[in-house]
Amino acid sequence: MTTTWISNPLACWTGTGQTADNGLVVRNGQIVELVARGMVPVTEYDDRFDASDVVILPGLINCHHHFFQTLTRALPAALNKPLFPWLQALYPVWSNLNDDAIYASTQLALSELLLSGCTTAADHHYVFSTIMPHAIDVQVEAARGIGNRVTLTRGSMSLGQSAGGLPPESVVETDNHILSESERLVRDYHNRAEDSLCQIALAPCSPFSVTPELMQASATIAEREDLLLHTHLGETAEENDFCLRTYGERPVDYLEKVDWLNERVWLAHGIHFNDGEIARLGHARTGVCHCPSSNMVLASGTCRTRDLQSAGVRVGLGVDGSASNDGSNLIQEARQAMLTQKLQYGAEQFSHLDALRMATLGGAEILRRPELGSLAVGHQADLALFSLDEPRFSGYGDPLAALLLCGAHRASYVMVAGEWKVKKGELVDNDIGQIMARHSEAAQRLRIEYTKL
């Protein structure tokens, strides 16, 4: 059991207000000591890592993604469209996903995230078909090979076009099958331990793609099994219109009706809420994942993060799908969040630290992982170390501010559960070239299948 002192960083942001100016000590997957300026560890150590040229952050946490969408980045048929037409252009492509495509896209997305300093990621996989019935099982296997912590959500679509929904029948499942599979995945893979690398949540896709009965039944299972719930909500004005037309109520009213207005729930996007709805979400301690790049690409709107937080809503950060971002880079997403929220609230009202909190502590709160998202004694040793030795940083003053203002895009070192997963900007356990080759082949197959339609 190696004890490592990660010493003498340019800066070390703990996220808690505690100082660790001379680094921290890691043993057996946990942080065992924070070292103050000018001090040396009290803990005996047998390895010392010189961090004098890096900034240390808690491992970043991505609260909303669609790994499979890395296969359809910049697809011509989906360019320059708002959400509903964008989805309708992509559903036929995604209906041809198979297990190999899911494995390849999961490994590529997690690698891309890891290289950007992201140590924990929640994925929302909601496309299932006869050629891909067990996508989450495949994702579990793929994630083990990369090493990030994951919350894999069993997404679903059960309200097809014939019943007034948006998705085609080829990617729609029955409520009973979805619920049965959800319970099986929880039994097989959900690890509730503090050091868990894999957890399962339930995630019916959206009001326009699942039945209210499925939402209600999922909430019942989640309460019984102590699980998290996730869905898209408040993303576009068109979604609000759909809810009013189909259910006779706005999305937050719909959420309450199906027993989803509670602290188990976190919502992707959360843009189109009025003041009263924000207050209700805050009272319920519901979470919202802000996805700034996707919201801009699809012109969905801007999340009112400050208002949500003031009301009591837990707010985290997500890259969203790599077909609406079109990347999986969380440190860049933190910069994007900082810029969009400055534009929303004023330059002095949202800082680089606010964005970093959203990308770390906010995500840990949403995923109910208090042992993650900050650097403190007893917390899991998940770290992201960024070098400022690039032209973009030359002349910097504040090293923490420089990370976002100057546009950091790749971590130099990343640790998950006390193990180095990235060193000198490269994956430790995997060949990124091989991962990209398999991924590119799967994306090419999808494009070929699409041209046959």
Q: Identify the structural domains of the chain with CATH numbers, from first to last.
A: 3-58+373-425 (2.30.40.10), 60-366 (3.20.20.140)
Beta bridge partners of 423: 426
pLDDT of residue 451: 77
Can you tell me whether residue 414 is helix, strand or coil?
A: strand
Own/partner pairs, 13-17, CB within 8 angstroms, 24+ separation: 13/55, 13/56, 13/57, 13/58, 13/353, 13/356, 13/375, 13/400, 14/58, 14/374, 14/375, 14/376, 15/58, 15/356, 15/357, 15/360, 15/361, 15/373, 15/374, 15/375, 16/374, 16/375, 16/376
* Whole-number Cα distances in Å, 135 to 5, 100, 131, 307: 40, 10, 10, 37
Residue ranges, the chain, pLDDT below 50: none
Q: With contact defined as beta carbons under 8 Å apart, do 275 and 302 qualify?
A: no
Rounded Cα distance, 303 and 288, in Å: 9
The span from the CA of 447 to the CA of 453, in Å, is 10
Q: What is the pLDDT of residue 446?
A: 93
CA atoms within 13 A on the CB side of 393: 20
Count of residues in the chain:
453
Q: Quote the CA–CA distance of 223 and 260 in Å, as a whole number.
A: 10
Q: Is the dihedral of CA 328, 332, 338, 342 positive or negative?
A: negative
Q: How far apart are CA 109 and CA 445, in angstroms?
A: 18
Amino acid 453: pLDDT: 62
3-state helix, strand, coil in the chain (%, to 5): 40, 20, 40
Contact between 441 and 146 (Cβ < 8 Å):
no
Sheet holding 3-7, edge to edge: 30-34, 23-27, 3-7, 47-50
Give the count of alpha carbons within 13 A of 56, CB side only: 29
pLDDT at residue 390, as a whole number:
96
